[in-house]
Each structure stands twice: as structure tokens, then as C-alpha cells.
């Protein structure tokens, strides 16, 4: 039997804490979510590897460190309402739900919506909602959000997402060429509505496909 608890603790220490992420609340959130449940059984043994893994519908579950980096950059804290664009397996949403008040995660692939919804319900994450749709439009019904994360890369930050950020809100998203490395950017909406932008380094994500993203290749 694989000792998942041991692998999980090792992931937190060696892949996340050792790379400089020290917020105890964030590290505990990663300790609480059984990542092996968020991949197909055939991949469970690799669930705690330092890399992304394939999930259904030709998509990927992000590398654990990248999930941590994005959550840290977005400054997610207790009481926050969070929007995730690209729910995928539901893993990042589950981790964020351990800190935030409410997480709304939009996913365009119906197959992933079904799998992630069943999984989150079964595991008892009742402050996460997975909604099917084009997340480049955000989710106006739940706006404004204290933090918005996009787990897929676009050519630009969709304006609806900026519009749906609360004053003081933070948005983290990979921006750049498709099938290439992208820049992880962070936008902060100041109390007066002005938007500050900074770059957090290079990453590689699957494409964001939608009205304010790339066109669907098929």
C-alpha cells in the first residue's frame, strides 16, 4: 500500500516549504487535501510527484508548487470569496477552500465538471461550487471576488475578470503565447479602482479557451 500521508507531508516540505512558501495556513491546506483522490486511479502513485499530471479531457492537474505559488501570490485569506477559472480536477479549488470562505470554480469541459463535482461532494468540500461555462467571462453572479486565479493561459487578462475583482482584490494568471512558456502576472485592484500589474516569473500552462481566450482547436 502506498503511504499517501507520508508522500503528502514530503511534498509539503520538499516541494513547497523548501522553495520559500512559509505561510502555515497555506502549508496546512496542502496537508489536508488528498491529492491522490484528484487523479485517475492509474496515476495515484505519482500524485505527489514534483510535476503536473494528465487528467480527463486531455487536461492537466498543475504541479503542486505552482498551485502554492499562485495561491500565495493571490494572498488568499480567511473570509475571501475566490473565483478560479479552469477547475480541472478540482484540486486547486479544494486547497483554496481550506483557507477562503467560498470558492467558485468555472470549467469549460463538461466531463471535468462532472468528475470534479462528484469528487468534491464525496470528499466533503461544501464551500466549493464547480460551474460549467466560459471562465473568460468570469462569473458575474458571484462577483465581486477578493481573489481570481486562472489555471490556463491566455494572450491577455480578460477584462470581465478585472471588472469582477473587488477593490483590494488580486488576480493571478499566466499570460503569453500558447504552447510556449508564459509569464505569471499578478494584478491588484487598488481601493480607487486603479489596477497595478507585476510579473512573477515563467510558467507553462494549458491554453485558456473562450471568448476572451484562444479559439478552440477542436
Residues recognised as catalytic: 62
Pick 77 or 137: Cβ nearer ligand SAH: 137
- The H or E element containing residue 187 is strand 182-189
Closest C-alpha among 37, 108, 35 to residue 68: 35
- Directed axis angle between helix 64-73 and helix 24-32, to 10°? 140
Instruction: Compute the distance between CA of residue 179 and CA of residue 198 in angstroms, rounded to an integer.
Output: 22
- The H or E element containing residue 132 is strand 128-132
| Residue from 65, 91, 125, 145 binding ligand SAH (CB under 6 A) | 91
Pick 29 or 112: Cβ nearer ligand SAH: 112
| Residue from 112, 115, 148, 187 binding ligand SAH (CB under 6 A) | 112
Stretch that binds ligand SAH, among 100-108, 122-130, 169-177, 184-192 (CB under 6 A): 100-108
Q: Are 144 and 165 in contact (CB under 8 A)?
A: yes
Q: Interface with ligand SAH includes 88 (CB under 6 A)?
A: yes
- The H or E element containing residue 24 is helix 24-32
Q: Interface with ligand SAH includes 35 (CB under 6 A)?
A: no
Q: Interface with ligand SAH includes 85 (CB under 6 A)?
A: yes
In the shown chain, the binding pattern of residues 115 to 154 toward ligand SAH, with x for contact by CB under 6 A and - for none, equals -------------------xxx--------------xx--
User: Is the C-alpha dihedral spanning 102, 26, 166, 210 positive or negative?
Assistant: negative
Size of the site for ligand SAH (CB under 6 A): 25
- Smallest distance, Å, CB 158 to ligand SAH? 8
Closest C-alpha among 89, 38, 93 to residue 59: 89
Pick 86 or 169: Cβ nearer ligand SAH: 86
Pick 179 or 190: Cβ nearer ligand SAH: 179
Which residues 6+ apart lie within 8 Å of 95 measured at CB? 29, 30, 33, 67, 71
Q: Interface with ligand SAH includes 82 (CB under 6 A)?
A: no
For binding to ligand SAH (CB under 6 A), which residues are involved? 59-62, 85-86, 88-89, 91-92, 106-109, 112, 134-136, 151-152, 206, 208-210, 213
Amino acid at each position: 500500500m502506498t503511504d499517501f500521508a507520508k508522500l503528502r507531508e514530503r511534498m509539503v516540505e520538499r516541494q513547497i516549504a523548501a522553495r520559500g512558501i512559509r505561510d502555515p495556513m497555506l502549508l496546512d491546506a496542502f496537508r489536508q487535501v488528498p491529492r491522490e483522490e484528484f487523479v485517475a486511479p492509474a496515476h495515484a502513485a505519482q500524485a505527489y510527484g514534483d510535476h503536473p499530471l494528465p487528467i480527463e479531457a486531455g487536461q492537466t492537474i498543475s504541479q503542486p508548487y505552482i498551485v502554492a505559488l499562485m495561491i500565495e501570490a493571490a494572498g488568499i485569506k480567511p473570509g475571501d470569496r475566490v473565483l478560479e477559472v479552469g477547475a480541472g480536477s478540482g484540486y486547486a479549488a479544494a486547497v483554496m477552500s481550506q483557507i477562503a470562505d467560498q470558492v467558485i470554480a468555472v470549467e469549460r469541459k463538461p466531463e471535468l465538471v462532472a468528475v470534479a463535482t462528484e469528487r468534491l461532494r464525496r470528499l466533503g468540500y461544501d464551500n466549493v461550487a464547480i460551474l460549467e461555462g466560459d471562465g473568460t467571462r468570469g462569473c458575474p453572479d458571484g462577483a465581486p471576488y477578493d481573489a481570481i486565479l486562472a489555471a490556463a493561459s491566455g494572450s491577455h487578462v480578460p477584462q470581465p475578470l478585472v471588472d469582477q475583482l473587488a477593490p483590494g482584490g488580486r488576480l493571478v494568471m499566466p499570460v503569453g503565447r500558447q504552447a510556449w512558456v508564459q509569464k505569471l502576472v499578478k494584478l491588484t485592484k487598488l481601493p480607487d479602482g486603479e489596477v497595478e500589474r507585476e510579473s512573477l516569473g515563467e510558467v507553462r500552462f494549458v491554453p485558456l479557451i473562450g471568448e476572451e481566450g484562444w479559439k478552440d482547436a477542436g
